[in-house]
């Protein structure tokens, strides 16, 4: 499953809004903060593969 690439756009309570960067899309995907690495910040680049997220830059 994947990989898919995202950028952290904003935080919204217990969720983080992610935008896909590997395809042309303006949609935001809300993801539970608990599923993401604790050191993320707005602008962080993530890779999602098999529903595991990791920071890539």
pLDDT of 2: 81
CA distance 54 to 28: 18
pLDDT of 34: 96
Contacts of 44 (CB under 8 A, 6+ apart): 7, 8, 55, 57
In this predicted model, what pLDDT tens digit does every residue of 8-56 receive, in sequence order? 999 999 999 999 999 999 999 999 999 999 999 999 999 999 999 999 9
Does the structure show a pLDDT above 90 at 1? no
pLDDT of 57: 76
pLDDT of 55: 97
């Amino acid at each position: 499953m994947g990989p898919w690439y995202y950028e952290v756009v904003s935080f919204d309570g217990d969720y983080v809004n992610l935008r896909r960067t590997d395809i042309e899309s303006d949609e935001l995907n809300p993801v539970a903060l608990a599923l993401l690495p604790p050191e993320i910040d707005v602008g962080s680049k993530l890779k999602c593969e098999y529903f595991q997220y990791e920071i890539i830059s």
